[in-house]
Amino acid sequence: MRVFADPFDRLMDDLQETARPQREWVDGRGLLLIAGHFLSGVGAGGWAFSSALGFLPGEITSLVVVGLSGLAHLLFLGRPERFWRMVRIRTSWVGRGFVGLNILMAAGVVYLVLRAAGLGGSGLASVVWGLSLLGAGIVMLYKGNVYAVCRAIPFWNSSLLPVLYVAYALRGGTALLLLFLPWTPLSAEQGLIEVLELWIGLSAGVCILFYLTIMANSSVGAKRSVEDLLRGRVAAAFYVGVVAVGFVIPVAIGILNAVTPVSMGALALVGVASLVGDFYVKYAIAKAGRYLPHVYQAR
């Protein structure tokens, strides 16, 4: 792998590639977008679970995380001062995600205020909570679709990707709650969260396996991306971040916990490892993206 100090030299090199790697959404400031996608998924998943359990620290943290994701998205934009224009939801998944994120933030804050005012059981609170869940659902759903509609990048152009991103968002939500265990035990719900985390983690792992198997037998561009993931420039991020930290560690501790109960700290470690894995899944999938080749000729 060649290293270029100057992005211009790298672009010139990329333009010679048969299937040019996409870099705008992962390198340099593109990392902010990956961070935004990661945080929005964790925040939306965290809100769905913690608000269902009525776990206030989780709810507040989730909204803060969603807010941070919005900030990361803003910093990624070339013209952040024009962010308010991103409301074209008829055909754009980015526009839908932006609207969903705002619904989640606004409804989430109003819901917490209503609860603090003692109106948590009111019909209005139920409606607002429903709205916040709608926003969370859109946020969890939009990211995978943003990638999946890109026919220019065969590796992303799969209907399985939105499923994978939703699975990881839900897993990120449970992982966020696990982080609270050493400080704020969730008593009755703890067992449920552990099982959910393990189950969703395994589901996400199966999803990735399916996804890579399909892509490995797909078009030339998608095959190149799978090669990048398994043997090429993204292999380190994939094996260390996604497989070892994000999958093997949480599942191993989860299975151990099923046999002999482990400490709260160990369960929090499951949360941390799952979150790291969640970030690396988004990073690796974005990094492995390559544009559709125009002339099928190896370099």
Site residues for another protein per CB under 8 A: 7-8, 11-12, 15, 18, 20, 22, 24-25, 76-80, 82-83, 85-88, 91-95, 98, 146-147, 149-153, 156, 289, 291-292, 294-295, 297
φ, ψ dihedrals at 207, nearest 5°: -60, -45
Q: Which two tokens stand for residue 272?
A: 């941390």
* Least distance between another protein and beta carbon 38 (Å): 17
Strand partners, 21: 290
* Least distance between another protein and beta carbon 196 (Å): 33
* Least distance between another protein and beta carbon 110 (Å): 25
Q: How far apart are CA 62 and CA 40, in angstroms?
A: 9
Q: Which residues contact 49 (CB under 8 A, 6 or more apart)?
A: 55, 58, 170, 173, 174, 176, 177, 193, 196
Q: How far apart are CA 102 and CA 245, in angstroms?
A: 32
Q: Which two tokens stand for residue 290?
A: 């390559």
Q: Which two tokens stand for residue 14?
A: 């990329």
- Of 45 and 289, the one with the shorter C-beta distance to another protein is 289
- Of 71 and 86, the one with the shorter C-beta distance to another protein is 86
* Least distance between another protein and beta carbon 233 (Å): 18
* Least distance between another protein and beta carbon 299 (Å): 9
- Of 183 and 296, the one with the shorter C-beta distance to another protein is 296
- Of 24 and 54, the one with the shorter C-beta distance to another protein is 24
282-131-80 Cα angle (round to 5): 50
Helix (H, G, I), strand (E, B) or coil at 37: helix
- Of 15 and 188, the one with the shorter C-beta distance to another protein is 15
